[in-house]
Structure 1
Amino acid sequence: MKMKLSSCFHGCTASVSLPGFVICFIILPIPNLEPAQYTVIGPGHPVTAVVGEDIVLPCHLSPPMNAENMEVRWFRSHFSSVVHLYRKEKDQTEFQMSEYLGRTEFLKDGIRNGSVALRLRNVRPSDEGKYMCSFPSISFFQDALLELKVAVIGAAPLISVEGYQDGGIRVMCRSAGWYPEPEVFWRDLSGQCLPSLSETKLQGHNGLFEMRTSIIITETSNQNIFCYIRSTLLRQEKESAISIAGQLLSKLQCDHQHTHTCNWLKVRICLWQ
């Protein structure tokens, strides 16, 4: 006696003869194996660091999950511009950009809860900019953008008398060690802003700014003036002041060809910070 073997494929059947019974195969569709869905979360606002200090760049997974076996890459503008790479449960320092060697620490205390923050040591002006915290894999890629701003407060302004000019005294204000470029301005005793004669900025190899500004003090002007230098990012400022007795300005006797021969002892000048 001959029986049929039937195979069912989405409504199609095929049969073979077998003695004694009929077998029907049913093949069900296999669902797509998608990777675990998660989101990489950054701080959502710029992070500000002070030059010379350390800063932690936060990044975590949502929902929280163990990231010990994941690859975590911190990089700058390009995927290959590696700030720090964590892979196969180890820090892969051989892939780092040279300027970050020895300056980064991948914080693993919270990695089982999806926290993959990065500590950056001895912050420099060149560290300012955008960073990406990414989780690359063969089938899934997620990242978060973080913006790092860098700042530092420089030295208190130093005021000096430079010489005689245009019927008055030219006064110079200097201050170095600022980042980013600060605002510089003069004010009188009443708080009124005064126009400067000149303003110069110099940026050193370390990226820090030195600011220089000058003003002319005449007999008719307010002889109590203040030099302010302000960090717009840190919202802090430093100031110095100079006071010159107005009645003595008219007594200056200067040789325009040899201003160093002026008898500056006739001018009573007070400086304070």
Structure 2
Amino acid sequence: MNMDLQRGHNRMRYLLPVLIVWGQLLLSDAIDDTAPETTLIGIHHQSIVLGCRFATHDGFQLENLIITWQRVEHDEVVHSYYYGKDQTSHQSEQYSGRTSLFPEEFKHGNASLKLEGVRAEDAGQYICFVSTISGSAEETVFLNFAAYYKDTQLLIKLQPSSTTFILESQGYPEASVLWYCAEDKNVLLKPHTSFVPREDGLYSLRSVLEVDHAKTNCNHIVEINNILVNQTVTRKFNLLLPRIQENNTDRRWCIALGSCLLVFAAIIVLILVIYKHQERKAGEKTKPEFI
């Protein structure tokens, strides 16, 4: 029972600024039913401004201004302003110390919110409620989350008959990864690509391509395409795989030929030794015996 009361108390604490806004909206009898929607992309660890506009009038006073930014999915208060100052006591802990308004812009009808250090959990729907004596405004903002793929690492493992390429990076969301031959982009190679979620909300990318020297003869290119932020990361690497294979083959032929020559020479020497030995024994038999 105590837990239910605590949840109810927390919900009312978050909804209090919203109730204040709607109360003043009803009293003003000037509700604006239009609610423009905007979609923005927040970049990992960067700041972003969520826009919100409202109409001003002559004699506009800050004391009568109420601004509430709310997260729709969780009924959380992102930022609230009334009684002429920011009200942080009702703010969700997720946004504590990360949000701010632009008080110098209030007179121009600007209630935009600045969000610093964007995180993956910030993605979602936001509503801006604004109320003044003369009317009200409401705007909805959809915030998507993205992170550039960077710190790309390419590892190369050489084997006698094949080469393994391992590409690693981090970013968000899942990107498309293409491996192909520089000589013909239509010749797509087939790597094994995986995306593993990290604690910070990003994905760890790992793409592994094994190339058979006997089947693939081209210069390789790998592309990471993060469409959400229009990012393309390209890595090109030139390995003379056929030449490596030919050199190994030539080396094997030289070793085989050298071995054959040594065996042939040994046979000739053996034949000569046997011939000399037999010739010596035949000479000893033809010598006259003296009494």
Q: Same fold, TM exceeding 0.5?
A: yes
Q: Indicate the structure with greater strand content.
A: 1
1:236-251 equivalence runs, <5 A: 236-245=231-240, 246-249=242-245
Q: What percentage of residue pairs aligned between the two structures are identical?
A: 22
Give yes or no for contact 1:74–1:83 (8 Å, CA) kept in 2: yes
SS in 2 for 1:59: coil
What residue number does 1:55 align with? 48
Matching residue's letter, 2:212: T
What residue number does 2:289 align with? none
Q: Indicate the structure with greater helix content.
A: 2
Higher relative contact order (CA 8 A, sep 6+): 2
SS in 1 for 2:206: strand
Give yes or no for contact 1:157–1:239 (8 Å, CA) kept in 2: no
C-alpha deviation, 1:251, in angstroms? 6.1
Q: Which runs of 4+ in 1 moved over 4 A?
A: 40-43, 250-253
What residue number does 1:131 align with? 126
What residue number does 1:222 align with? 217
1:1-273 equivalence runs, <5 A: 35-37=28-30, 39=32, 44-61=37-54, 63-65=55-57, 66=60, 68=62, 69-77=64-72, 80-135=75-130, 143-162=138-157, 164=159, 168-176=162-170, 178-189=171-182, 190-219=184-213, 220-245=215-240, 246-249=242-245
How far, CA to CA, are the matches of 1:243 and 1:121 in structure 2?
42
Change (3 A) 1:100 1:133: same
Please say which structure displays the higher CA radius of gyration: 2
Change (3 A) 1:67 1:156: farther
Change (3 A) 1:187 1:194: same
- TM-score, scaled to structure 2: 0.65
SS in 2 for 1:99: helix
Give yes or no for contact 2:73–2:125 (8 Å, CA) kept in 1: no
Structure 2 alignment gaps of length 5 or more? 1-25, 250-291
Change (3 A) 1:94 1:40: farther
Matching residue's letter, 1:212: R
SS in 1 for 2:224: strand
Aligned length: 216
Change (3 A) 1:193 1:49: farther
How far, CA to CA, are the matches of 1:143 and 1:198 in structure 2?
47
Once structures 1 and 2 are overlaid, which stretch shifts more, 185-194 or 39-48?
39-48
Once structures 1 and 2 are overlaid, which stretch shifts more, 98-107 or 154-163?
154-163
- Partner deviation per Cα, 1:16-44 (whole Å, 9 max, x = no partner): xxxxxxxxxxxxxxxxx962525387764
Structure 1 alignment gaps of length 5 or more? 1-32, 254-273
How far, CA to CA, are the matches of 2:155 and 2:74 in structure 1?
50
Q: CA RMSD in A?
A: 2.9
